[in-house]
Amino acid sequence: MTLEPFFSPEGVVVVGVSQDPSKLGYAIARNLACCGYKGAVHLVNPRGGEVLGKSLHQGILQVPDPVDLAVLLIPAPSVPQALLECAERGIRAVIIASGGFREIGAEGAEIEARCLELAREHNIRIVGPNCVGLLDTHYPLNTTFLPPPGPDAGDVALISQSGALCDVVIDWARGQGFGISRLLSLGNQVDVTETDMLSPLVDDPETRVITLYLEGIVDGRRFVEEAAKASRVKPLVALKVGRFAAGRKAAVSHTGALAGEDRAYCAAFKKAGVIHANTTEEMFDWARCLAWSPLPKGRRTAVLTNAGGPGVTAADSIEACGLELSTLSDSTICELRSILPAAASVYNPVDLLPTATPELYASVLKRLIDDPLVDNVLVILPPPPKSVAGEFGKALVSVIKSSEKPVLGVLMGDSLICEAVELFRAARIPDYRFPERAASALAVLCERAEYLRRAEEEDVEFEEPEGICKEAARAAFDGFRSRHKGGLIPQGIARRILESYGIPFLPEGTAQTPEEASAISLRIGFPAALKIISPSISHKSDVGGVRLDLKNEAEVEFAAIRMIEDIRRACPGAEVEGLLVQRMARVGQEVIIGVVQDKQFGPLVMFGSGGAEVEGLKDIGFALAPVTMKEAARLMDSTWAGKKLYGYRNLSPADRNTVLESICRISLLAADFPEIHEMEINPLRVMEEGKGAFALDVRLVAAKTL
């Protein structure tokens, strides 16, 4: 069923209206009456009577046409019966504002489950329960019980899983000079979720930016799919709270230990093109800039100021946010020299000195905007010493409004610049009190522009790499699962699974005795590496389970004898399945590729610096699998390990293409095999450019089955 009745109903019935102005049931009726809603309003209370000049109906079935949206503010045990009456009356959109459901425990959860059952049986969509409700400032409609006045009409929508935040944001937004288009409080999300609401907001012509305050996501994979579609049309800015509450417990691999809820959300947002805010203030700072500013062509930023300190602060902030302090063109510098005092700075940041007039500010700003080497401008205005800020505001606004490049105002201070602030906001020009916030918003504007360009270039379906034999991988995995309920997959089987997906390995063999290990080493060649095979030992090198650079069969046999003795001392009782003998790779760079299955978003692929120090260095990045080659490249380039593969000092350029392919193949394997809980290649030894890469150590862990 369409969700439109929630936003543009022909008639609304409020069930549980109170005659007491201190009650929430009265507040909903008041907001509907005062918001300018032009549809029919019906109020229900079994006792009858009158509220705000309207007669109260005694039940839902007595309500006349038109009515296609119901708001229920009645005790939780009464809600299932009210839903049945809504169904009989033909109402298919219901907001349950009442509390007392799963948030209070098992009894409430049972009532909530019954509500969902009835909704599905009768084709009813439910927002809530335990929510504030919805409002649309342009239709207009206000079904919330929030105190007046409501929000100003604007172009930023908010989906919130916190009812209290809605009240705060309305008041704060008014003070910040921007309005709300739609506000959606979803409560327990028994039916309609944050993902369901994305499409109606994308279709809403009054909404330019969608913000989301998230405590969790009901269906991670579906959210990513729908958010990816939405973000191609409108910016999505999300704040995920409770980011560090859930850690990984008893992880077998480095990947499992380093992954976590926050990294999963970061990877999911990146995949979907959602801009990830760290604070509530950031979310709305960015949203206002995205709603009001044109998109830039690049990151080259000019700074205009009349004070040295704020200019230097802005320059630092620009670099810290990944922007570039632009070099002004020779012609611009020449023009500035001709109109500015000798003591002024004609280089970026351009410092006009405190004596600058409004006319001079506007003239220089126009020249900076016209400079072909400038993509964006931050214009800084502390309280003027000789004029009122309003005069500067008028002069600057007239120039900024005609600009096709983004210009953000840094209006520093409070009462002395309030007139300029009002002028900027009336003209829909983003203003900030300090350079740091302005630079942060400008960086997000650049990020949005780059995302849209990238999305257009990469708008292709995922292509599977060649040379993959899924049947062989499935046969090897199912063979293991037929004998075990889960856990660490033996090296030989793990290698067969990975090789079936095209992951390159060096020659190796498995031995049961030191003598067998010696014979295998003679066959595969030297130098050789020796590793213990044990499902009881996660990190072999920590307990003496790895010997490297063995130059002949005698060294291999002796190392095997010593290794077995060391393992027995370090890990008494550990199950030892054998000895892995590998030919050692030549010297190269070492990286790690890993995967962990996230309960919300599915497989996350990790890339970073490999070897024994991976958890100490934490030079890692995560992406939602499966990844394309370009996504894999961005993942690699987000780490120092990936940047080094281009070559660094005495390091020759390494075989990046093989690493990229390996990331893509591993990510596809993880997507195809959700039964694999953790997977890791550490290290992947990367040779010089064109000479390949080899998995030296692998670890696959199957999820436990009952």
pLDDT band at 464 (very low <50, low <70, confident <90, very high): confident
Position 160 pLDDT exceeds 80: yes
Q: What is the pLDDT of residue 420?
A: 95
Centroid of chain to Cα 607: 18
Contacts of 526 by beta carbon, 8 Å cutoff, 6+ apart = 550, 551, 552, 583, 584
Structure tokens at 311: 């200019």
CA-based diameter of the chain, in Å? Answer: 100
Find the DSSP H helices in 501-584: 514-524, 553-570
Position 461 pLDDT exceeds 80: no
Contacts of 679 by beta carbon, 8 Å cutoff, 6+ apart = 253, 255, 594, 595, 596, 666, 669, 670, 698, 699, 700, 701
pLDDT band at 356 (very low <50, low <70, confident <90, very high): very high
43 class by beta-carbon count within 10 Å (0-12 exposed, 13-18 middle, 19+ buried): buried
Position 330 pLDDT exceeds 80: yes
- Three-class secondary structure of residue 563 per DSSP: helix
Structure tokens at 523: 């066959």
Position 198 pLDDT exceeds 70: yes
Distance CA 378, CA 311 (A): 10
Q: Tokens 């709270």 — which residue?
A: 241
Fold adopted by 294-457: Rossmann fold (3.40.50)
Helix (H) or strand (E) holding 655: none
Answer yes or no: CATH 3.30.470.20 is held by domain 589-702.
Answer: yes
Contact indicator for 564, 576 with CB cutoff of 8 Å: yes
Question: CA angle, corner 220, sides to 215 and 224, nearest 5?
Answer: 110
Fold adopted by 507-584: Dna Ligase; domain 1 (3.30.1490)
pLDDT band at 229 (very low <50, low <70, confident <90, very high): very high
Q: What is the pLDDT of residue 379?
A: 98
The two domains 4-207 and 507-584 share their CATH topology (first three levels equal): no
Least confidently predicted of 243-252, 253-262, 668-677: 243-252
Distance CA 686, CA 677 (A): 26
Position 238 pLDDT exceeds 50: yes
Mind listing the pLDDT tens digit for each residue in 616-650? 778 999 999 999 999 999 999 999 999 999 998 88
| Mean predicted confidence (pLDDT) in 520-545 | 88
| Mean predicted confidence (pLDDT) in 292-314 | 96
- Give the start-to-end residue ranges of the domains of the chain: 4-207, 294-457, 507-584, 589-702
pLDDT band at 247 (very low <50, low <70, confident <90, very high): very low
Distance CA 248, CA 258 (A): 8
Position 249 pLDDT exceeds 70: no
Distance CA 383, CA 419 (A): 11
Q: What is the pLDDT of residue 241?
A: 87
| Mean predicted confidence (pLDDT) in 167-174 | 90
Position 444 pLDDT exceeds 70: yes
The one-letter amino acid at 173: A
Backbone angles phi, psi at 691, to 5 degrees: -110, 10
Distance CA 309, CA 307 (A): 6
Q: What is the pLDDT of residue 281?
A: 93
Q: What is the pLDDT of residue 445?
A: 98
Could you please report the per-residue DSSP string of 387-441? S-HHHHHHHHHHHHHT-SS-EEEEE-SSGGGHHHHHHHHHTT--EESSHHHHHHH
Q: What is the pLDDT of residue 218?
A: 85
Answer yes or no: CATH 3.40.718.10 is held by domain 4-207.
Answer: no
Q: What is the pLDDT of residue 610?
A: 87
pLDDT band at 250 (very low <50, low <70, confident <90, very high): very low
For the chain, the average pLDDT equals 92
CB neighbours (10 Å) of residue 469?
12
Backbone angles phi, psi at 85, to 5 degrees: -70, -35
Distance CA 284, CA 141 (A): 23
pLDDT band at 612 (very low <50, low <70, confident <90, very high): low
Orientation of helix 163-176 relative to helix 280-292, angle to 10° = 50
Judged by phi (left if over 0) then psi (alpha if -120 to 50, else beta), residue 452 lies in alpha
Percent of the chain whose pLDDT exceeds 90: 80
pLDDT band at 706 (very low <50, low <70, confident <90, very high): low
pLDDT band at 91 (very low <50, low <70, confident <90, very high): very high
Judged by phi (left if over 0) then psi (alpha if -120 to 50, else beta), residue 589 lies in beta
Dihedral, CA atoms, 291, 293, 294, 298, nearest 10 degrees?
Answer: -120
Distance CA 675, CA 364 (A): 63
CA distances from 221 to 88, 225, 476, 600 (A): 35, 6, 28, 7
More confident residue, 540 or 629: 629
Structure tokens at 661: 């392919």
| Mean predicted confidence (pLDDT) in 356-383 | 97
Mind listing the pLDDT tens digit for each residue in 2-16? 899 999 999 999 999
Position 246 pLDDT exceeds 50: no
441: Cα within 13 Å, side-chain hemisphere? 31
Distance CA 16, CA 3 (A): 23
